[in-house]
Structure 1
Amino acid sequence: MSIEPPSFDVAAALLNWVIAIVACSIIGLAAGFAGSLAYRGTSGPRVFWNTLKRGFRDLTRLSLSRIGAIASLTIKEAISRKAFVIGLLFLLLFMFGGWFLSSSDAEKPALPYITFVMTIMYFLLNLMAILISCWGLPADIKAKSMHTVVTKPVRRSEIVIGRIVGYSGVVLSVLAVTSIFGYVWIQRQVPQQAKDQLIARVPAYGSLSFLTRTGQPSETGTNVGDIWEYRGYIEGLSKARAIWKFDNLDTAELRKRGEIRFEQKFEAFRTYKGDIEEQTRYQITLVNPTTKLRVPIEKSYPVAEHKQDPELSVVVIPGEIEYQESYEVGANAKVANLFDDLIDNGSLTVEVACIDDQQYIGCAEGDLFVRMEDRSFLSSYLKANIGLAFMLVLVVSIGTTSSCFVKGPVSTLLTGSMIIMGNVIYEFVNEAVKQQQERQDGKVIGGGMLESIYRLVTGMNQTSPLPDNLGIAKDIIERLDQTVFNILFVVRSVIPDFTFFSMNKYTANGYDVPWTGALLPSILITLGFLFPLIILGYFSLQLRELEHK
């Protein structure tokens, strides 16, 4: 199984964050000013301005000792409320989980054990984070214990931050303990013959382009009618090629190894059955675009097409490669050095061709990668748990902030909804926004909700533009659909993308957790939402006027 990490553009993410912060700030200030006028009349602007000044002071002049005291009190409250029961439940699942996982996966015996541990930690700790953060503050307000705190020389901002720090400390403590038990359990439960699957591959991915059957450049390859357009196909015994360009390779590490390892997971498409026992084959050519040197690898390789989920096929290219520039009788063989002649300033170009007539090979960008030096399974396991830790901090922050202005059940529902939308609906919203951007670039893909309804009623296909004879109705449909897409863009900006935090797919399948594709987005998303949530929690708690109840 090949895993292609999601792309994350830091510059675009920061720009969207700034836009979202500015937009939410303007909306919040406008709503606050309107509310002050409605409740205080002519004195409203003065109260509004004083509130902003006090808020700026309380959010910038923080006392670490007071925050630490509130965090310590929060941890003691969590202990008294049996918050660590989740850890005991986790250990019970460890005790009996091995009974049902002994032979769940014949090809990858280690996979179900790793998946079991990571999945259990993901769901149970998220549940724990939601419950303690969403119910703690409302319970204190109901018991009136919060009233004794707010009357002391402590700022509301310190209460919010202290609560977040305290709840995060509780959840992360449980995560640390369960991570240790989980690692030991995996090492003990994985069969001895599957210990070699406890690794962390380090893939170096390249950019993919195609040549058509006539040798013309193409971005997508040949379409063979597959509904899933993830892969492009190259035709056998033609000029069609799949071309990967690997940049920024660690040449020193490759020289030390004395070889380069490729791993592939291509897909075969047959136009006729042929000899079903013989797999479709491909050939590799290494290219240096600067010197125009082309070195074909004489050996051909099979596409593992007869297994539902085969292991990645390994292709090893030695440091010294014998090749012939022509296949004429008596042609002299030459030798090319992989590192001196073919790798150009850390860049290597690889061409893949199908060598079976009337057959096709499907290729995606993540289907071929250079396998660098493997890392330990422990490093990948720790990185996955670090990503989970940032997610738990974010969940605690959302739960604590929401509990500042709503009660426990509503806060739980709100926090759980944010997690569900961030995992499931976010991808749908992101795809809808992407389609709208493509539509603005001139690609007609069916339009929005109203336009799609019109097409369904009239039997119109997705690739044709709306007829001009609709007149003003066409403008109304497009404007309303554009408004809906703008709302979706706002929703996408204010909902955390929780898909980056789930890193068990890397660890369970024997990959190292990538920094730029997983850990960095997790850190930036958590920090990007943490500070606005603290500000929102502060003003929400400020408006409750607890000391007067």
Structure 2
Amino acid sequence: MVREDLTAFPLVEALQSWAIIVGVLAGISLVLALLAALISTGGAGFNRAVGAILDAFVDVLKTSPGRVWALAMLTFKESARRKALLVFVIFGVLFMFAGWFLTSSDMRPDLQITVYVSFVLTTIGYLIVPLALLLACWGIPEDIRRRSMHTVVTKPVRRSEIVLGRVIGLTGILTLVLLIMGGVGYVWIVRQIPASQQAELVSRVPIYGMINFYNAQNEPVDKGVNVGDVWTYRSYVQGASKAHALFTFEGVTPGVLVDPDGAGGDAEPVLQLESNFEAFRTYKGDMTRGVLVQYTYVNPANPNIRVTDPNPFPIEEFQKNIHNVPQELTAYDVETGQAKTYNLLEDLVAKTATVELPDQYDLTKSSTHSLTNGLQIEVSCLDQGQYLGIAQPDLFIRTPDSPFAVSYFKAIFGLWLMVGLIVTIGVTASCFVKGPVATFLTFALLVVGYFGVEFMQGLLTDYVQGDDGYGGGPIENVVRIFQHMNPTTDFQPSIGVTIMEYIDKAFLGFLWVVSHVIPNLTDYDLAKYPAHGFDIDWSRALLPAVATTFGFLIPCMIIGHLGLRFRELEAK
């Protein structure tokens, strides 16, 4: 089961934040550089520094694609001569014996596929990252040590072209390595899966919906019943009551219907709902079956048109629960008992609808949503004394599946973006320092970017927005320590307190900017999607990785160019 943030990546907000961060850091760096030149050598040094910076940007504008390509090809050939392709030996040895230890006849087919795909993509990542790190961080320092860099810069080649050519060349050789390993891994996965289980090797394309919870009195609540589970991922709906979870979908068109047989037969296409709910039992009950779940389909434009699914089903925990909804549904009038037939797409799906849904975090407010081809589904539990655990990704409309190769190679593309980021940062670091230091610096950024950057950025964002609870910035905390004040005590309003708050906001804002210099490497962790049989969505998964890589590319190219331009290339 893939647990993910279902919000689309806010590209416009990301571009605005990127512009602010780059602008602030560039402005601070420029001011510090000019001040250092002015203090060290006076007005003449200041003028030389301004001239050197202007010349550097002129170099960038006069970059020649031909020379960049020539340097890229030279880097490609040098990397091949450094036996970079020997990584295939390790890769081959791992795959020769992997089948012995990963195959299990007792495992469900979907879990077996998860093991195979996770192993392949994780192995490729563990092999390609150290290779990219070493090639990127040791190339330029080694050329400077051997004085071959001096031979290059004496030719009509600009420093910006050296940096850009190095990045393109290293990315090229690593792309070749990645494609070969990815292709071999795909063939290995397909050959490991028996023919009888090949149908499980797909990429599901889900349509997720918005979720709202309602209690036993049919009143909106921010979350379901608290059953004492320390993991708050799911909220629980009380059984045999009016309590339910309301899912609001849009984009329900004839194109999302699937063949129930999955073999292109003559059966009428159905709306396929897949769920992964969890049951919480207050007593054992009937242990031979799961807790009963029932769907009710509601037209969002006219809530009076509602059809209760006549086929409730028991959930099977920790595996897929697929429920096919036919296009023709029959409902019985509660008062008259007369049967009426509804067409799913014509009667229950609203072509256009405007719905007001309660805000999950503030029930006194509501938000208006305009739906196109919308459908609402109420999920309720039928068993008395039992509870149904539901989270937003637990129910989705399963549209026609994509080939497994689509999701798999999207994950390979994500690894390629990560390789490009590592090469960019490594080459930039090597323009300033020697190989070991550049390697350590880049590796430290990778470790923090994978394990700690989300926590750090979230903490600083809360401080900047004033959502940190008690306490404030560093100046406020120092004052509280000296005055023996606890964090719950408020300061008396004064000019000094106002100045202190402004200084803290400026300091924390600067820390927020600095924290975003570290890339968020969790954006590249895409192996979970093909491993669990899901397609990789562009707006939620791939776009953040693309934005992160290209967001670092432009500033790093400029920084690397300036570092190489002002570095002494004759020093060993």
Pairwise CA distance, 1:548:
8.0
Tell me the CA shift for residue 381 of structure 1.
1.0
SS at match of 1:507: helix
Tell me which residue corresponds to 2:338. Answer: 332
Alpha-carbon distance in structure 1 between the residues aligned to 2:571 and 2:533: 58
Residue aligning to 1:46: 47
1:64 paired to 2:75: no
Alignment partner for residue 159 of structure 2, among 148, 156, 159?
156
1:319 equivalenced with 2:331 (yes/no): no
Measured against aligned partners, the alpha-carbon deviations of 1:166-211 in whole angstroms (never above 9, x if no partner) come to: 1101100100111111111111122334322211000111111111
Q: What secondary structure does 2:301 align onto?
A: coil
Matched positions, count: 532
| Equivalent of 1:109 in 109, 112, 123 | 112
Determine the C-alpha separation between the residues in 1 that align with 2:394 and 2:498.
Answer: 44
% identical equivalent positions: 40
Alignment partners' CA distance in 2, 1:202 and 1:446: 45
Counterpart CA distance in 2 for 1:49 and 1:438 is 37
Q: Distance in 1 between matches of 2:428 and 2:191?
A: 41
Paired letter, 2:426: G
Counterpart in the other structure of 1:400? 427
1:389-441 CA distance string (max 9 Å, x none): 1111111000000000011111111111111122111221233245446753x
Instruction: Give me the whole-angstrom Cα distance separating, in 2, the residues matched to 1:124 and 1:407.
Output: 23
Secondary structure of residue in 1 paired with 2:257: helix
Cα distance in 1, alignment partners of residues 230 and 333 from structure 2: 40
Secondary structure of the residue that 1:173 maps to in structure 2? helix
Q: Which moved further from structure 2: 344-353 or 100-109?
A: 100-109
User: SS of the counterpart of 1:269?
Assistant: strand
The partner residue of 1:387 within 414, 421, 446 is: 414
> Is the contact made by 2:238 and 2:388 (CA closer than 8 Å) also made in structure 1?
yes
Q: Is the 8 A contact 1:282 1:302 kept in 2?
A: yes
**Is the contact between residue 141 and residue 147 of structure 1 (CA under 8 Å) also seen in structure 2?**
yes
Alpha-carbon offset, residue 498 of structure 1 = 1.3
Q: Secondary structure at the match of 1:372?
A: strand
- The 1:446–1:283 alpha-carbon spacing in structure 2 relative to 1, beyond 3 Å, is farther
User: Deviations 1:428-476 (Å, cap 9, x if unpaired)?
Assistant: 1233245446753xx847878998xx99xx9x9xxxx713489999999
Distance 1:534 1:468, change over 3 A: closer
The answer to whether structure 1 residue 267 and structure 2 residue 278 are counterparts is yes
Aligned match of 2:488: 466
Partner of 1:344: 350
Q: Retained in 1: the 8 A contact 2:258–2:272?
A: no
User: Which amino acid in the other structure matches residue 504 of structure 1?
Assistant: A
Give secondary structure in 1 for the equivalent of 2:516.
helix
> Measured at CA, do residues 163 and 237 of structure 1 come closer, stay the same or move farther in structure 2, by a change above 3 Å?
same
Q: How does 1:147-296 map to 2 (within 5 A)?
A: 147-254=150-257, 258-292=269-303, 293-296=305-308
What is aligned with 2:313? 301
* Cα distance change, pair 421–279 in 1 and its aligned pair in 2 (3 A): same
Asked if 2 retains the 8 angstrom alpha-carbon contact of 1:466 and 1:474, the reply is: no
The secondary structure found in structure 1 opposite 2:217 is: coil
Tell me which moved more, 50-59 or 430-439: 430-439
SS of the residue corresponding to residue 228 of structure 2 reads coil
Paired residue type of 1:341: D
Amino acid at match of 1:96: F
Q: TM-score, normalised by structure 1?
A: 0.90
CA 1:532 to 1:197, structure 2 compared with 1: closer, same or farther past 3 Å?
same
CA RMSD, 1 decimal:
2.8
Please give the alpha-carbon distance, in whole angstroms, between the structure 1 residues aligned to 2:344 and 2:514: 50
Q: What's the CA shift for 1:304?
A: 2.4
Partner of residue 80, structure 2: 79
Cα deviation, residue 297, structure 1: 0.5
Counterpart Cα distance in 2 of 1:41 and 1:334:
90
Distance (Å, rounded) in 1 between the aligned partners of 2:456 and 2:87 = 33
Equivalent-residue separation in structure 1 for 2:80 and 2:30 (angstroms)? 39
Q: Secondary structure at the match of 2:84?
A: coil
Q: The residue matched to 2:4 in structure 1 has which SS? A: coil
Alpha-carbon distance between aligned partners in 2 of 1:445 and 1:296, rounded to the nearest angstrom? 49
AA of the residue aligned to 2:546:
I
CA shift digits 1:237-294 (9 cap, x unpaired): 2222211111233443438973111111112222333333342222110111212211
The answer on 1:500 being equivalent to 2:542 is no
Q: Which residue of 2 aligns with 1:98?
A: 99
- Paired with 1:492 and 1:469, the residues of 2 have a C-alpha distance of 29
Instruction: Give distance in 1, aligned partners of 2:508 and 2:252.
Output: 40
| Residue 26 (structure 1) aligns with | 27
Are the counterparts in 2 of residues 394 and 526 from structure 1 also a CA contact under 8 Å? yes
Write out per-residue CA displacement over residues 93-119 of structure 1, whole angstroms, 9 at most, x where no aligned residue. 111211211118712222211111100
Match of 2:148 in 1: 145
Once the two structures are superposed, residues 205-247 of structure 1 have per-residue CA deviations (whole angstroms, 9 ceiling, x without a partner) of: 1111111222222232333333222222211122222111112
Q: CA deviation at 1:37?
A: 1.5
Identify the residue that residue 509 of structure 1 maps to in structure 2: 532
Moved more, 99-108 or 164-173: 99-108
Letter of the 2:527 counterpart: N
Quote the residue 1:4 is aligned against: 4
In the TM superposition, what is the alpha-carbon distance from 1:351 to its structure 2 partner?
0.7
Matching residue's letter, 1:231? R
Q: Is the 8 A contact 1:16 1:493 kept in 2?
A: no
- Long gaps (5+) in structure 2: 260-267, 352-372
Does residue 533 of structure 1 match 2:562? no
Name the structure 2 match of 1:363: 390
Per the alignment, residue 139 of structure 2 pairs with 136
Alpha-carbon shift at residue 503 of structure 1 (Å): 1.0
Q: Which digits, 9 at most, give the CA deviation of each residue in 1:52-102, with x for residues without a partner?
A: 221121111111111111111111211121111112221221112112111
Distance 1:45 1:484, change over 3 A: closer
SS at match of 1:84: helix
Which has the higher mean CA deviation after the structures are superposed, 7-16 or 177-186? 7-16
**8 Å Cα contact 1:150-1:547 kept in structure 2:** no
**Contact residue 2 and residue 312 of structure 1 kept, 8 A:** no
Deviation at 1:484, TM superposition (A): 7.3
Q: Name the aligned partner's letter for residue 530 of structure 1.
A: L
Corresponding residue number in structure 2 for 1:413: 440
Unaligned runs of 5+ residues in structure 1 are none
- The reply to whether residue 375 of structure 1 matches residue 423 of structure 2 is no
Q: Decide whether aligned partners of structure 1 residues 63 and 126 sit closer, same or farther in structure 2, where only a CA change above 3 A counts.
A: same
